[in-house]
Structures are given as structure tokens and as C-alpha cells.
Amino acid sequence: MKKTVPLLIVIIGGVIWLAWVFVPHRIIQDVFYYDFYLPWARAMAPFAMLLGVISLSMMHYGKIKRRVPKWQYSFFFFAGFIVTSLAGFIGGTQKGGLYMWIFENMQMPMSATMFSLLAFYMASAAYKAFRARSPEATVLLVAAIIVMLAQVPFGVKISKYIPDISQWILDVPNLASKRGILLGVGLGSVATALKIMLGIERSYLGGD
């Protein structure tokens, strides 16, 4: 029950999903997927959310119990989870309710603060990466300067060719590198999915 049944569920579910993606037959596309697989997937989604909540609660409870560094912040998790859950269950999630007020006046400002802090980390990383210590770093520095100049009117005043050069950098070398990264991510995802479906990767079962 701890290994065989979960492995069978993962393997069968993965095979059905692969068949739905690659096999255009009506039985697979309509009957087998929409009438069998999709209802079961929707039925399991609440249990997956419940498992995530239990896992987070156990992790933060363990931090509080062991008094690990910054364990006090775990109380904010429990407080926020309880208040938000009660606001959603009692008042609903419609506009004007307590839940939406918490989302608009607490969650959104905190998210904006996190993204604004990323700008400083990006500036620090750019400063370290753009120092021309090698030919590759010099090329990166020149390309970044051209792209940034093309985004402001001052760059057009320097030369009318800067926007065209910037667009070429974005369309050719930048796009090629992005496609290479996406190909690597895709191959890695396929390899990981196959390892999980074949039972090679079993870390989701817990333990070692």
C-alpha cells in the first residue's frame, strides 16, 4: 500500500495523459480522458491541497518546537492561514468582503514589495556580471548597454541605429539562447517524467 499502489496510480495516470497528448483517437480524446481521467483528477485536487496545508503546518510546527533560527515567523503563517480561511469560509470571496480586502490591502502590497526588492538584487547581479573581465563579459556589457539605451529617448538621440541593433540582439542571439534554455528544460522535464512513470524516481513516496 505504501509503494505499489501509489506507483501504479502514477504510472496509469501518466500513461493516460501521454495517450491524450499524442493519440488523436476519439476514445482517448473524449471518452477516456474527459469522462474518466479528468473527473478523477478534479476529485483528487482538494486532497492535494489538504496535503499541502498539512505539510506546511507540520513544517512550521516543527520550527516552533525546535526553536530554529527565526522560528517566530512561523506564528505569522498560522495566524495568516487561520484569518484568511475564516474570512473566505464565512464572508465568501466576492468583491467587498473581508477576504478580498485582505488580498488587496495585504497580499498585493507584500507581493509588490517582494518584486521591488528583486530590482536591487538584479542591479547587484548586473553590476557583478557586467564588469568587463573577459571578452565574453565585454560582449554582455556592450549588448546590455545597447538594449537599455534603446528603451529611452536618449538612446535614439545618440544614434538612430540603436533601436534596430537592440531589436536584432533581442531577436537573434537572445532568442537563440532562450530557445536553447527551453530545449534543455523540456528535455529535463521529459526525462524526469519518464523516471517517475517508470518508477525510477520515487522521492514523492517519502523517506529516502
Q: Which pTM does this prediction carry?
A: 0.54
pLDDT in tens, 1-24: 677 787 888 788 778 777 877 878
Query: What pLDDT was estimated at residue 207?
Result: 54
The closest of 140, 147, 112 to 126, measured between CA atoms, is: 140
What are the grid coordinates assigned to 6, written together?
501509489
pLDDT score recorded for residue 168:
93
Question: Rounded to an integer, what distance in angstroms lies between the CA atom of residue 169 and that of residue 79?
Answer: 49
7: amino acid identity, one letter: L
Amino acid 206: pLDDT: 65
Task: Judge whether residue 182 has pLDDT over 90.
Answer: yes
What are the angstrom distances between the C-alpha of 90 and each of 50, 93, 99, 101?
19, 9, 9, 14
For residue 1, how far is the Cα from the chain centroid?
31
What's the pLDDT tens digit per position in 112-168?
888 888 878 877 777 776 666 778 778 888 888 888 888 888 877 888 888 899 999
Distance CA 163, CA 147 (A): 8
- According to DSSP, residue 71 is labeled G
Residue type, 107: Q
For 152, the enclosing helix (H) or strand (E) is: none
| Rounded Cα–Cα distance for residues 106 and 114 (Å) | 12
Eight-state DSSP code of residue 15: H
**And the C-alpha cell for 191?**
526525462
Instruction: Please state, as a whole number, how many other Cβ atoms lie within 10 Å of the Cβ of residue 166.
Output: 20
pLDDT band at 58 (very low <50, low <70, confident <90, very high): very high
Average pLDDT over residues 173-189: 92
Mean pLDDT of 158-180: 90
Amino acid at 102: I
Give alpha helix (H) positions in the chain: 4-22, 26, 38-66, 74-91, 98-102, 108-129, 135-150, 153-158, 162-171, 173-197
Scanning the structure block, which residue is given the C-alpha cell 501518466? 14
37 and 13 Cβ atoms separated by less than 8 Å: yes
pLDDT > 70 fraction of the chain, expressed in percent and rounded: 95
pLDDT of residue 208: 53
Q: Which of 25-39, 143-157, 169-183 has the lowest mean pLDDT?
A: 25-39
